[in-house]
Structure 1
Amino acid sequence: MRFMMLLRTDENAMPAGGPGAELMERMGKLLDEMTAAGVLLDTAGLTSSTQGTRLRLSGGRITAAEGPFQEAGEVIGGYALIRAGSQQEAVGWAERFLGVHGDAWTLTAEVRQVDEPATVGG
């Protein structure tokens, strides 16, 4: 089963200068471990919401808003797409993913199973 980890952060509460070298080293080790275990399918951080555009469909009309998206509080700062045998296993990986950030960060990981399409003829 595939699971998406959406990593949310408050852009105003992030450490100055973003992730430091020590965090990047710890994250690299975890990502290497996840890759070797066949768990990690894809992951990336996202640029600041100041560089984003949010589209909204309401009443058949699409509107666009340029970032930053301060009213949202937390914004999606990154994601990881993983393969795990259960929701519990996926949550365990998400806990480790968050844990490497230490106490200087406030992050939320939302873990949701990817809704796989039914196979043809199956």
Structure 2
Amino acid sequence: MRVMVVVKATEDSESGLLPTRAAMADMDSFNRALVEAGILQPGGGYGLKPSAAGKRVAFDGADRTVIDGPFAQPRELVAGFWLWTVQDMAEAVAWVKRCPNPMPGPSEIEIRPLYEEEDFV
């Protein structure tokens, strides 16, 4: 089963606050453990710049509208993500519980299964 593990944004991440060296070292150790366990997919873990650096494209039929960031509601935004291969959702949850806190304060990580070919058969 493949899952996308999403680090939700916070006011700190949206303000551009970078992690400390210690936090980066903790996350690097966690990522190495994921690779060693065969869970982290190649190129599958990234941090994202604040939404102020981003754009959205809104679709309405043939019309396209470009919306400049920043976007409201930081907790609804994505600050980073991984792509993992796990046996089941319980394994994904167990790994997320081992993750160092990705933000200086309270934070959330969301786990979403990817559609697989067999889902469309």
Judge same fold: TM > 0.5, yes or no.
yes
Cα pair distance change 1:118/1:94, threshold 3 Å: same
Deviations along 1:46-67, one digit per CA (max 9) or x if unpaired, are 1111110011223543211011
How many correspondences in the alignment? Answer: 116
Residue 40 of structure 1 corresponds to 40
What is the CA distance between 1:86 and its match in structure 2?
A: 0.5
Q: Percent identity?
A: 25
Residue 114 of structure 1 corresponds to 114
**What is the TM-score normalised by the length of structure 2?**
0.83
Residue 60 of structure 2 corresponds to 58
Cα pair distance change 1:81/1:16, threshold 3 Å: closer
The residue matched to 1:107 in structure 2 has which SS?
A: coil
What is the CA distance between 1:95 and its match in structure 2?
A: 2.1
RMSD in angstroms over aligned alpha carbons?
Answer: 2.4
Q: Distance in 1 between matches of 2:22 and 2:96?
A: 19
Deviations along 1:49-90, one digit per CA (max 9) or x if unpaired, are 111001122354321101111x23322000010011011111
Residue 70 of structure 2 corresponds to 68
Residue 101 of structure 1 corresponds to 101
The residue matched to 2:25 in structure 1 has which SS?
A: helix
Unpaired segments ≥5 residues, structure 2: none
**What is the TM-score normalised by the length of structure 1?**
0.82
Moved segments of 4+, more than 6 Å: none
Q: Distance in 2 between matches of 1:78 and 1:103?
A: 11
